Amino acid sequence: MEAEYLRHGVPLADYQLTKADHRRQREAVQVHEWVQRQLAEAPPWSDERWEEMRQLLGSPTPPWELQRWQLRLYCGHVIEATRNRNSPRPDGGVCDKKRCPDCGLDPAVIVAFEPLGPAAEPPAESHSLRSSRSTRQPPADRRSKAELVAENNALRAELEVLRDQA
């Protein structure tokens, strides 16, 4: 199921910053500075720790699971970015900032956005696997709930008979 993508501040070139945008940018800068101070004080990670983190994060998201977005950043620059395709917003409701590749403002809050389309089409076998999954029949060795209840009742009755004989 594909998300219904939202738009905000379109057309992006005409978007006027709001008090909320200024507040979000100020808060993003404060958080960024705090994180940078914490990282400067933290001990360095070993190569083993970095490898463990890579394994936890897994492989990169395939391009057909990404959505292309046009973003207007706080600095005024309009850029294109890709995000997870399952979210109706480019910030995913969580991370609404990005480093501006044009002027270097870091962080630059996303103030307006519009969807452009998928980053790539899924491979043919991926699409056919997805559609076959939805029409798949349950395995023949699986029994229905009614069959399991009937077997359970029969076993309980057999247990009662055995208890009476003992």
90-139 pLDDT tens trace = 987 666 788 899 999 999 999 999 999 999 998 887 555 555 555 555 55
Number of domains in the chain: 1
What residues have CB less than 8 Å from 6, skipping those under 6 apart?
Answer: 88, 89, 113, 115
pLDDT digits (tens, 9 = 90+) for 143-154: 777 777 788 888
Which domain covers residue 112, as residue numbers?
12-118
pTM score of the predicted model: 0.68
**Residue 165, domain member (yes or no):** no
Looking at the DSSP bridge assignments, the partners of residue 114 are 70
Looking at the DSSP bridge assignments, the partners of residue 80 are 70
Select from 115, 140, 166 the least CA-distant residue to 8. 115
Q: Would you call the peptide bond into 139 cis, given omega within 30 degrees of 0 as the criterion?
A: no
**Residue 25, domain member (yes or no):** yes
Length of the chain in residues, anyone? 166
Q: Would you call the peptide bond into 107 cis, given omega within 30 degrees of 0 as the criterion?
A: yes
Q: Flag whether pLDDT at 37 surpasses 80.
A: yes
pLDDT digits (tens, 9 = 90+) for 46-86: 999 999 999 998 888 899 999 999 999 999 999 999 998 88
**Residue 61, domain member (yes or no):** yes
Type of residue found at 112: A
